[in-house]
Structure 1
């Protein structure tokens, strides 16, 4: 189960040792990545990267457009609650025996939900693969949703929601999305509220699995010791009995509803700030230039401008970051920081100033060259395990990047010129920013624009 998550950028610069069960960086991101597309008799497709050295596989899958944006407003948190219940008993297994079957056989099975998708993860040794696939199939097609499990998971969610009411990170994030999207489903909390979670019934959970989980919106990525023929059989066994097509109303495209500053009063000595505006779509020709621009501004860890100006020069924060967020119906540029209440206004002003500098073209050739060197050189570090490879493969499928994306990706970045990045900075960073603050910021008044 999940809520608002922050995408982070890896700061390591070298390739680590290869542990058992790990796909090598060279295999994943070398000149011939060997990604294969496998299709089962049921029509289910998967991207596969084979690593036969260890008898172990990782499977990642996503049901696109089946996430929290599909939850009815009065049942917000439904997808999140379902993700916590699918492995709490299915078919002939009650909750205890299902969990025992996973743990006794070293099988890892979990589910998750975000705004756009409903996802899952399976990891197993080959000797237990048949059982693992059976448990996955049962979880997706015959979940029991027994009263004890439903009420136990509901209680856990309600406890977590109560805890998060005093968490400035959560409060700032929720406020940002609420103000940014108004009546759009993206405005609602992925975890829901105490009132909406209390309203969810067993029938709602059954309806979710019946209407949202189907072969037609399924994307799969697999890494490890499995042949294409074996994977085709796995796809049919795990997913072949799902409905052919989901029954999903369309989620409308949207834009940010406002800019300005919103304050969530919270009695804490340090405020949390979430900021952002509309980003650039993953398939926009300017995406890679925006990716490099964001690295320079706030995605590069200690080498970023925001860190240099706000942390290193002035000591106002321990960390500040920004990133591109790939929401399907409204891509975003987002960021965040935390600082003492008396420094919030100054820190926010510095974020706005650095955005203006970027928008006005203050980006040098060395800035761009250094960013390109890091983003190309660090790419193999995303492939440190079978699971990280499977996660990349399923992302490639969901975002329709193509089976050869791993071969093409670095060339897109290498081809960028400083002029490309400056042009896109003017497009990306000239937009008005929406800022949400949770805490007791001194001298900062709520404002409204847009």
Structure 2
């Protein structure tokens, strides 16, 4: 059954990706249910599959002090029984009907994902609504999942990349929720009670807080009816998700975390751009040239190709709800860390000076626009894109406009953004390992 399901999903994805090629081909409908719940819908009848993605603003950054990991534990237990169905009965029902239902948490949002054959849509949506409105949080299930999260955390705390990430983000955002580990600590995970879980859900999941994207074999009228039926038992409204705006604290230094490993993990960051910044598209092109373009980027060319210093090197833009970071990383032998860091800083200086070639610019724009349809790898990814576009307020026609926005970026735009944003003096670096050659 699941193999048949995946085959049908593949057919639908292929159709949608091919349809996305010509401008204006993505038909997104704004559906508002009789009860006022909004969703964006891409209707496609080629295969009998429906994918739904949803989000509510406010995730791990809302965890109370001393209860870090709460959002993560909630997301991991929402599908562990609901209503009159205990964990085993709930999971059996999903499995019997080939329904995929999962939840996740990041710093700024809680997310849900549902995929079902259209003939099972009523039951699939019912189980989704039940999980959000009446989660059981039975002691046995909560303790089993808590033990799994503690085991995963213990394993992660031995991983150099994970250690580096916690160290870097803790330095960037001291005293702010973004600086805390989203998956908590052993002590904070153990401190979370079932009452904490039950109190968390209605504070975040409410009818007016839902951001929904749906793709597949369903029409607008049927979807509107299902939305009201699915989410009727949720609270009408939830508290607004608000945090203090914060600029990342970047001291421009290199910080070492000793760890017994034959190679070092390097992470680096400086202040970045919010998604709403008018220079976002120029920054996207610039980042591709700097370190986002894998084999064609400046960092790859200087660090990996010319000098063979690192196994990998990259950069990326990381906008958050209330801040923004321009970050990157590399992995290298301990003996090569000193030179790698020197070259990374040198590339940052060179690109910040605005020295971008015409061929680099053309290649970057060609790749970014050409790869855009391929980002929609399955129906869930398309639905997730609909959600992301809504969260960022980009407009319902964004998918069709996006490549034109990238195409309009000029060499002057890229040079201006490089001078405006890239700041080598603020590039803060964390190294985890036993590095040599650092000054």
TM-score bin (small chain): over 0.9
8 Å contact kept, 2:33–2:228: yes
8 Å contact kept, 1:24–1:384: no
CA deviation map 1:243-281 (0-9, x unaligned)? 122125621110112322222211011111111111111
Which of these residues, 19, 30, 33, is aligned with residue 22 of structure 2?
30
Q: Counterpart of 1:127?
A: 119
8 Å contact kept, 2:281–2:406: yes
Could you say what the CA RMSD is over the residues aligned between the two structures, in angstroms? 1.4
Q: Counterpart of 1:19?
A: 10
8 Å contact kept, 2:82–2:136: yes
Which of these residues, 255, 260, 274, is aligned with residue 262 of structure 1?
255
1:404-415 map, 5 Å: 404-415=397-408
CA separation of 1:58 and 1:410: change in aligned 2, threshold 3 A: same
8 Å contact kept, 2:265–2:331: yes
Measure, in 2, the Cα distance between the counterparts of 1:370 and 1:177.
32
CA deviation map 1:190-245 (0-9, x unaligned)? 10000100000000000101211112222111111111111112221222321122
Partner of 2:317: helix, strand, or coil? Answer: strand
Measure, in 2, the Cα distance between the counterparts of 1:289 and 1:411.
12
Q: Counterpart of 1:39?
A: 32
* Count of residues paired in the alignment: 428
TM-score by length of 2: 0.95
Query: Following superposition, which runs of at least 4 residues in structure 1 exceed 6 angstroms of deviation?
Result: none
- Is residue 2:174 matched to residue 1:182? yes
Measure, in 2, the Cα distance between the counterparts of 1:197 and 1:134.
30
- Is residue 2:387 matched to residue 1:394? yes
- Is residue 2:339 matched to residue 1:351? no
8 Å contact kept, 1:216–1:244: yes
Q: Counterpart of 1:440?
A: 434
8 Å contact kept, 2:248–2:325: no
Measure, in 2, the Cα distance between the counterparts of 1:76 and 1:324.
25
CA deviation map 1:324-362 (0-9, x unaligned)? 112111111111111111111211111111111111111
For structure 2, which runs of at least 5 residues remain unmatched after alignment? 1-8
Higher helix share: 2
- Is residue 2:368 matched to residue 1:375? yes
Which of these residues, 242, 247, 250, is aligned with residue 250 of structure 1?
242
1:307-326 map, 5 Å: 307-326=300-319
Q: Counterpart of 1:149?
A: 141
Measure, in 1, the Cα distance between the counterparts of 2:363 and 2:188.
48
Q: Give the drift of 1:396.
A: 0.5
8 Å contact kept, 1:29–1:379: no
- Is residue 2:219 matched to residue 1:227? yes
Q: Give the drift of 1:113.
A: 0.3
Which of these residues, 253, 274, 279, is aligned with residue 281 of structure 1?
274
Structure 1, 84-93 or 273-282: larger mean CA deviation:
273-282
Partner of 1:145: helix, strand, or coil? Answer: coil
Q: Counterpart of 2:378?
A: 385
Measure, in 1, the Cα distance between the counterparts of 2:255 and 2:226.
49
8 Å contact kept, 1:175–1:262: no
Q: Give the drift of 1:148.
A: 0.2
